[in-house]
Chain A
């Protein structure tokens, strides 16, 4: 069985400041990792994914994440946030065979002016 822990339920940050949203996972097999963003009253949009290869993954809107197998982490980072980045962010894991995604509980990022 897999599980995902997002350590922070809410992260307030000032505009143009850097941000890191933390995600840890547990799984007994190799995994695929994803970050999704959800704006109010909308579905989920894929920000980035780790399937294999380089552990530093770059996504859309200036976001990046680093896969750390030894620490079972996949933290999301952005060097300078904008007001428009205010949204809920979900980390998710799939083991490939079962295919469905297991999601963390989400982190609400609020960018303050």
Chain B
């Protein structure tokens, strides 16, 4: 069974640009979660999507947004990039339960 996949593996942007990160969940999983792992800040919850709708949001500004598609894959968009957005962005998927399975992450570098 294929795990959670994320693309791209690495992404380099300059300040002020927009970044789009993609996530494909495990087949049969309807929930997708996004987390940010920034140096010195640990793992922080960003967004939770289930059945195409945003269910919960962490303490991040509105320039962090996303969506979930009918096939349950998801996009995370970060607008007006700032230097402190540089981080590893992890996506996780879950069936209708609490256990989450993580992808390998996208490393975003903002110059």
Interface residues of A (CB under 8 A from B): 32, 34, 36, 42-46, 49, 51, 90, 92, 94, 96, 98-106
Contact = CB atoms under 8 A, between A and B. Distances in A.
Contacts, number: 51
Contacts of B25: none
B69 to A, nearest CB: 20
Nearest to B104: A43
A32 B52 CA distance: 25
Closest 3 CB pairs of A and B: A103-B43, A44-B102, A100-B45
A35 to B, nearest CB: 12
A106 B41 CA distance: 11
B2 to A, nearest CB: 14
A43 B103 contact: yes
Contacts of B102: 36, 43-46
Nearest to B44: A103
B90 A99 contact: no
Contact of B31 (A42, A45, A99): A99
A10 B58 CA distance: 28
A94 B58 CA distance: 14
Contact of A102 (B45, B56, B100): B45
B48 A99 contact: yes
18 contacts: A32-B98, A36-B102, A42-B104, A43-B102, A44-B90, A44-B102, A49-B99, A92-B43, A98-B56, A100-B33, A100-B45, A100-B48, A100-B56, A100-B58, A102-B45, A103-B42, A103-B43, A104-B42
